[in-house]
Structures are given as structure tokens and as C-alpha cells.
A and B are shown apart, each in its own frame.
Chain A
């Protein structure tokens, strides 16, 4: 594939002179499926002092390299189990790479699997404070951002309700509102637009565009191909933990779609999305 610096037309080349905000340097991630159950108590006793039992290794990410520069939005597409969520979890430090180097420069906020680490029994307000503290904010700082978050999520009358009564869309709205309100330098988004309704989706996209303009680095994981084409400057296509293709959004997304569903894009190389 071609050099991203020359292909990503929307990102000015000058930005690339800066240091990348997201760095993945030859990252490998191996999972073990802990499917087996200890059969004997002896196994339990020895297992405690050795490293955990390693069974059925699977490489979720292999020799993965990616740099995302400030102001750039990179989309990640791929089928289920291709390694997209693993990538986001490695970047957000939830998981540790088996080998390789992952680095994020500046404040990072991530929306992984819709929630931002909510406790189901707590109210939305209490969860805002909990989630804010995970992002490194003090109570006073969260108080300042609170109104903005509530307005953005459009959940004012539901803030005293435990989040377990929230719909998945409300979860996603609250999660997205918290993640963007803390003004991160790096934003990792996983499928958040999929559950938002017709009024919330454009709002999210506007926010993402605003972030792009203010020079934030965004990694956008989605199965919503029109959004990927519209929002990203570069797209990475993952299969089985490896980069299959990387380049301009329209071409990469189309070749990804053609690969699984030949003929679906009718060979068009132009964006098939109607601009608003």
C-alpha cells in the first residue's frame, strides 16, 4: 500500500511533520482461551504460584504498525474477530501487548463496547463522577464539565436514574458525552454511532469534525462504512490481526466490501455518500 502521508488528502502534510499522537510499533498480541478447568486440586495449588495456565493460543494482532498524527482520523475496518477491539484495548492500556510498543501522547479517552466503565447500580450522575475519575479528573473539574455533558447527552431528566435502566442508546450517549467533554488529545471510538438515534448521530459526527479541526488524533472503529468514508482520512483494513490494506478511505472500504460481497459497490471508486 502507498505511503499514508501522500494518500491522505484531507490531512495537511504539514501535520505529519509533528510527532504522532498514537504509535503502534510492531505490536503482537497473543490471547489464551482459558477454556480448560483445573481438574485436580494439585493443579490449582501449583497454578497459583506459576503463571496462569496457557491454552489454545491465538494471535489477535500480528506485527501491527500504525502512527496517527494530530488532526488525523484513522478508520479501522474488518470482520468480527479481526483484532479491532483488541487494538483499542491495547491503546487504552486495558491490555498489555505480548511484544511491541504502544504509546499515546496526551490525554486519551476511549469508548469501548459502548459504556465508559459504568457501574450499573449507580445513577447517571454518580457514574459521570466515577468515569471522570478514571480519566484522571478531580471532582471539581468534573463539576465544571457536568452541565455540558448532560446537555450533550440529552439526558437531563434521567440523570438520577441508575444506568441499569438505560437503553443501549442512552448508555452510548452518556459514554460519548463523558469521553468528549474531558477534551482529550486522543479519542478512541468503538462502534458508538451504531446505537445512536437519528438526532444523536449527526451530533456525534459534528463533534468528531470539531475535534478534527482542533488537531486531535482519532481512531475510529466501525462497521458503518458510509461514516468511515466520510469521517476518516485514512483507513486500515484488518484481517486475522494483520493489516490487509491501508490507504484512502473510499478505496480501502470498497475493496474491503468487495472482498466479502463482490459487486456490492459496482466498482465505484468515488464516495457514494450524499453529503449533507
Chain B
């Protein structure tokens, strides 16, 4: 694993070209091009605001801002895991013809997703600066700038670590991509994105603390702190809330994911060029 890791810096240029390729190929033949990156979450946001904000009304102030802060990072995880999982299978022709560390393909896919995510975040921040001034909640630019670099790094490590083993396994077991698709949908609903922990506390007073075990929720709390609450991150499922605890609860799954994921990937790496 260490040996594989030490080889990666040589392939920076490959990574750069593959990321550029991913973004280029995806958008070059569409009329709206890169706008789709923004349009997709915007439409999802519109749907959720109407259904969960208006029809199933809730008492969250500026519900749209709450949604944005959770939806964008979660969609990044979802997109990274789903597209990352197929990254090696769809690039079989490269793996079979030139040597390079196969994980570069997964890293490139997740990095391309990261660039889209950053762009979405940037546009979202403009909206938050202009309109998110609630009585109790508000956007905090200073805290956002302090918190986001670390939060994005942890989110990236978490998503990459998840995508890596699935990328190797789905070369051998094609079922996995279908299972992943369903699992990600289920994960989306059990994660507080369009609902909040207060609601869970009300309906599940004895068991809500279990949500702390959801790594996605812990990571989303990092974003929601400065983007929605206007505070440093607070984990709303943790019994004793504080920024330090919120960071620890998010860092733990990220570190486990990236090290465990890369380790699992390296176990299957040798045969990829033969099987793909």
C-alpha cells in the first residue's frame, strides 16, 4: 500500500489530463454545457422545497438554505461513489493498454466531481449571502471560509475512500453498481438532509443518537454549521455538542474510509487489467 502510494506523485500529469478529460467529454456535446452542473441541484432543490417545505411543512427558518447546505455535499458523496465505482470498468481500454496506477482513474473521477461541487458551492454562497438572513439563523462568511477548507478535505477523503474499493469490486461483480444505486437512495433518506435532528428527537426520543453513526450526517454537519446556522460546526445528534466533537465525529469516518478503502483497493488491484 505504501509502495503504491509512493508511485502516485509521478502520475500528476496523468491525473490532471484525466480530470480535464472527464469534464470535457461530459459537457462538450451539450448545449448548456457546464450549466448542467448547476441546473441539476437547482431543480432538485426546487422539488424538495415544494414537497418538504410547503406541502409537508416544517418549522425550519429559511428551509431552502438548510436544504442547500446538506444537499450539495451529499450529492457530491453520491456522485463520487456512483461514478467512481464504474470508473475502472468504463476505462477498461486504458487499463488494458498502458500501465499506470489504476486508482488514478477513481481519483480523477472524484476530483472532477469535486470541481463541480466547488462550483455549486460558490454559486450557493452567493445566494446565501444575499438572502439567508434569518432571525435565528444566517450565513456566516467568515466562519464559512474558516471551516470549509477542512470540511471539503474530509468530505473528499470520505467519498474517495468509499469509491475506491467499489471501483475494483464492480469490475468483478457487476451487481454492485445496481446495489450501490439503491443503497445511495436509501442513504439519502436516512440522512438528515430535508429533515432535521429536532424532528428525529421528537419522534424517536430514545434512539436518535444512533444517527451519530451515520458518517454522512457527521460530515454534513460541518457544512451546515457556517452555511446555515451561522455557527461553527455542531453535531446535532451528539449528546454533548461542541465544535471539537463535531470535527472529531466527521474526521473519524473520513480517515477510516480513505485508509480502509485504499487498502481494500490494493488487494484487488493486481488482477484489474486481466479482468476488466
Q: Give me the interface of A with B, judged by CB distance under 8 Å.
A: 31-32, 34, 38, 41, 44, 47-49, 51-53, 89, 92-96, 110, 112-113, 115-122, 126, 129-131, 133-134, 136-139
Contact = CB atoms under 8 A, between A and B. Distances in A.
Interface residues of B, number: 32
28 contacts: A34-B172, A38-B175, A41-B175, A44-B173, A47-B173, A48-B165, A51-B267, A52-B268, A52-B271, A53-B172, A92-B98, A94-B97, A95-B273, A113-B96, A115-B93, A115-B97, A117-B93, A118-B93, A119-B25, A119-B94, A121-B25, A122-B24, A122-B25, A126-B24, A129-B17, A133-B14, A133-B16, A134-B100
B197 interface: no
B95 interface: yes
A139 B13 contact: yes
Contacts of B173: 38, 44, 47-48
Contacts of B25: 119, 121-122
Given A44-B175, A92-B99, A119-B21, 6 more contacts: A32-B274, A38-B175, A110-B98, A120-B93, A133-B14, A134-B99
Given A47-B173, A133-B13, A138-B13, A93 B99 contact: yes
A38 B176 CA distance: 12
B203 interface: no
Contacts of B10: 136
Interface of B is mostly: helix
A96 B270 contact: yes
A34 B169 CA distance: 13
A121 B18 CA distance: 12
A93 B14 CA distance: 17
B94 A89 contact: no
B175 A117 contact: no
B275 interface: yes
Nearest to A111: B97
Given A38-B175, A47-B172, A94-B273, A117 B17 contact: no
